[in-house]
Amino acid sequence: MSNSYFPPTPPHDTDHVDHQLQDKMSGPQQPSPQLAPNAAAPPPNGTTGTKDAPGRMSLKLSHLPSRQNIKAVYPRSPSSIDPNNPPWPAYRGYHEYSFAYATMGQRLPTILGKAIEDVVVTLNQEYDEERIVDLVHCIERMEGLMKELQEQAKLRPIIDDGEADVALWNKLIAKYFHGKTFMNAPWLFAEAYKYRRLQECFSVSKYWKSYDVFFRQKCDTFSRSHDAVFELSMRFAEPFKLKDGLSPAEKLEAERLMFLELTQICLWGNSTDLSLLINMTEEQIRSLQSTGGENLAATEKNILGNHMQRLWETVVSLRQNTGGRIDFVLDNAGFELYCDCVYADFLIQSGLAKEIRFHGKRYPWFVSDVTKKDWEWLLNSMVYGHLFPKASDEEKESLRRLGQRWKQYEKEGKWIYEQHPFWCTGFTFWELHNEAPDLFLHLSRSDLVIFKGDLNHRKLTYDCAAPPSTEFEIAIGPMASAAGAPRVCSLRTIKSDVVVGLGPEGDELAEKLDKEEPGWKISGKYAVVLLSEGRPGERVVFT
């Protein structure tokens, strides 16, 4: 693994300089306490600062050696890693080279603006005065949040709204991000914090605690995924059967091929998350969701780190041990969740897994992430809904049967939906074993934990500028190395800066793509399927 790859950074982009930039980025209302060399010092507190006030002395250092260009050494040593100092340099909102910059500066305000529009629609349909007044207050809080975002305000503690994650959030803010702003806190934390603050706008209300500002969008995109939805339901409505007369080896090969195609369907289902679809046409969505065989063969070339064969060997070995437990840490609702369920259905039917646990979010998160309500909506609208008026009777029936089978899995306890508070915090998964030991212990009993999507990948890898050649097991730290760590698989289409697991030539490959296809890290055109071995046999000890 080489340490020579670093993203283009502003000069002297060290933690020390971060503090200077922090003050530059913190908005006009806050005078910067950091001054350029030899600049006049601010007046002492309480004085008016007129031109007669004495300035502080400044030394001229003209006889000392000039400042040297020292490069910090990464990864940081384990003891110096913390949420503000990831193993490799963090991405922060003011890093113009990073997707953090567009996200914090433009995408988040746009997303929040659309969320306000959604609440206004709801408001206009409400008739009860108390509920109307309560909702108006929610809108005012959202507008306040918008102002803070645009003025790059400092991150304040979360109000105690009774949610199970308040203590985790406020510990993080107090310990690591005191005085930080939306722009100079690490991107991952600042972005997650925005969604927690959005939740707070509603959680402190009387009538609107569980309101989901993204629910309409999530339902709408699934309804617009007609072709891909029926492509899959028409194939999987009936339990799958292998051709008669195959030898055991041929059967296994047929299953392997099916597994690999379904893994890709589950993977590419992630490329259509709503936070990026703001301006996409139906045609563009359709092409992203294409599930035809030819397309899958072509798209395998775009899987830059590909452990799919190892993944197959892993699940086959589970079946030899009477079928295992597989966990999905879910990402997006609607079409992606539907693909996850098709995959999970195959795992159950083929005996590769005997129990699947799905982990969702407790409240609206990163626009399109799955909540319990989205989960129930999908299964129920497949069985009872009228979402696809143009579908044929056969297509509608196929979707209904599929939904019925999935609901039956739930009744039988083969599929279990869970929602731990840790998934909606700003902690990365490097801290999971320390900050949510109950969840870590729970996952350590799984035979394979599949993390879906870009955000989960960012959290697995600490969302920092690790070289692309970094091995996945190194990049995910304690999630691979802690005693009891489960086998982890990341199924992720690449939609943000951090890229690891590309193999020994990975740094060169990334450099080439940087030159030839700027934007390759945010397009969702490329992906990784990465697997760790974990340390499943070991006892979990918490200190």
Least distance in angstroms from the C-beta of 368 to Mg ion: 5
Sheet-wide strand order for 448-452: 303-306, 527-531, 488-493, 448-452, 324-329, 353-359, 415-418
Strand partners for 417: 358
22, 221, 225, 275: residue in contact with ligand F6P (rule CB under 6 A): 275
**Between residues 141 and 458, which has the closer beta carbon with respect to ligand F6P?**
458
Closest approach of Cβ 169 to ligand F6P, in Å?
Answer: 18
Four-point Cα dihedral 514, 515, 519, 523, nearest 10: -80
Residue 136, H or E segment: helix 129-150
Q: How many secondary structure helices (H) and strands (E) does the chain include?
A: 21, 7
CA dihedral 521, 522, 527, 531 (to 10 degrees): 80
Position among 200, 273, 395, 463 found at the interface with Mg ion (CB under 5 A): 273
Q: Residue 366 interacts with Mg ion (CB under 5 A)?
A: yes
Considering the complex, what minimum distance in angstroms separates the CB of residue 348 from ligand F6P? 25
Decide if residue 454 touches ligand F6P (CB under 6 A).
yes
Scanning 123-131, 340-348, 453-461, 532-540 for contacts with ligand F6P by CB under 6 A, the matching segment is 453-461
- Select from 452, 457, 455 the least CA-distant residue to 499: 457
Q: Contacts with ligand F6P in 156-195 (CB under 6 A)?
A: 191
Number of residues that bind Mg ion (CB under 5 A): 5
Partner touching 458 among ligand F6P, Mg ion, none, CB below 5 to 8 Å by kind: ligand F6P
**Cβ–Cβ under 8 Å, residues 476 and 535:** no
- The phi-psi region of residue 408 (left if phi > 0; otherwise alpha if psi is between -120 and 50; otherwise beta) is alpha
The token pair at 198 is 């959005």
Residues 295-334 that bind Mg ion (CB under 5 A): 331-332
Which one of ligand F6P, Mg ion, none is in contact with 165 (Cβ closer than 5 to 8 A by kind)? none
Binder to ligand F6P among 306, 332, 469, 532 (CB under 6 A)? 332
**Residue 270 interacting with ligand F6P (CB under 6 A):** yes
Q: CB under 5 to 8 A by kind: which of ligand F6P, Mg ion, none does 471 bind?
A: none
Query: Is position 507 an interface residue for ligand F6P (rule: CB under 6 A)?
Result: no
Strands (E), 290-405: 303-306, 324-329, 353-359
Stretches 156-164, 250-258, 435-443, 454-462: which one binds ligand F6P (CB under 6 A)?
454-462
Least Å distance, CB 329 to ligand F6P, is 11
Query: What is the per-residue burial (b if ≥16 Cβ within 10 Å, else e) of 486-516?
Result: bbbbbbbbbbbbbbbbbeeebbebbeebeee
The number of CA neighbours under 13 Å toward the Cβ of 375 is 22
If one counts every other C-beta atom within 10 angstroms of the C-beta of residue 383, the result is 16
Q: Site residues for ligand F6P, window 356-395 (CB under 6 A)? A: 366, 368
Q: Which does 234 bind (CB under 5 to 8 A by kind): Mg ion, ligand F6P, none?
A: none
Q: Considering the rule CB under 6 A, would residue 95 count as an interface residue with ligand F6P?
A: no
Q: Which residues contact residue 56 at a Cβ distance below 8 angstroms, ignoring those fewer than 6 apart?
A: 40, 41
Binding-site member from 273, 327, 340, 473 for ligand F6P (CB under 6 A): 273
Per partner kind, with CB cut-offs from 5 to 8 A, the member of ligand F6P, Mg ion, none near residue 350 is none
Sole binder of ligand F6P in the list 1, 139, 159, 276 (CB under 6 A)? 276
Q: Which stretch binds ligand F6P (CB under 6 A): 350-358, 372-380, 387-395, 451-459?
A: 451-459
Name the 3-class secondary structure at 303: strand
∠ CA 446-452-455, rounded to 5°: 120
**Residue 405 C-beta: closest distance to Mg ion, Å:** 26
**Cα–Cα distance for residue pair 317/326, rounded to 1 Å:** 13
**Using CB under 5 A, which residues numbered 367 to 396 contact Mg ion?**
369
User: Which of these, 510, 460, 454, 425, lies nearest to 103 by C-alpha position?
Assistant: 454
Partner from Mg ion, ligand F6P, none contacting 270, C-beta within 5 to 8 A by type: ligand F6P
Region from 44-52, 76-84, 272-280, 412-420 binding ligand F6P, contact rule CB under 6 A: 272-280
Least separation, in Å, of the C-beta of 424 and Mg ion? 12
Q: How many residues bind ligand F6P (CB under 6 A)?
A: 17
Residue 138 or 274 with smaller CB distance to ligand F6P: 274
Q: Residue 180 or 361: which CB sits closer to ligand F6P?
A: 361
Name the residue among 207, 208, 202 with its Cα closest to residue 141.
202
Find the binder of ligand F6P among 86, 403, 426, 453 (CB under 6 A): 453
- For the range 230-236, what are the long-range contacts, defined as Cβ-Cβ under 8 Å and sequence gap of 24 or more? 230/388, 230/391, 230/395, 230/398, 230/399, 231/291, 231/292, 232/265, 232/291, 232/338, 232/339, 232/342, 233/395, 233/398, 233/399, 233/401, 233/402, 234/394, 234/395, 234/398, 236/342, 236/345, 236/346, 236/402
Q: Which of ligand F6P, Mg ion, none binds 263 (CB below 5-8 Å, type-dependent)?
A: none
State which residue, 180 or 361, has the beta carbon closest to Mg ion: 361
Report yes or no: 200 and 144 within 8 Å, Cβ to Cβ: no
Binding positions for Mg ion, rule: CB under 5 A: 273, 331-332, 366, 369
Binding positions for ligand F6P, rule: CB under 6 A: 103, 107, 191, 270, 273, 275-276, 331-332, 366, 368, 453-455, 458, 495-496
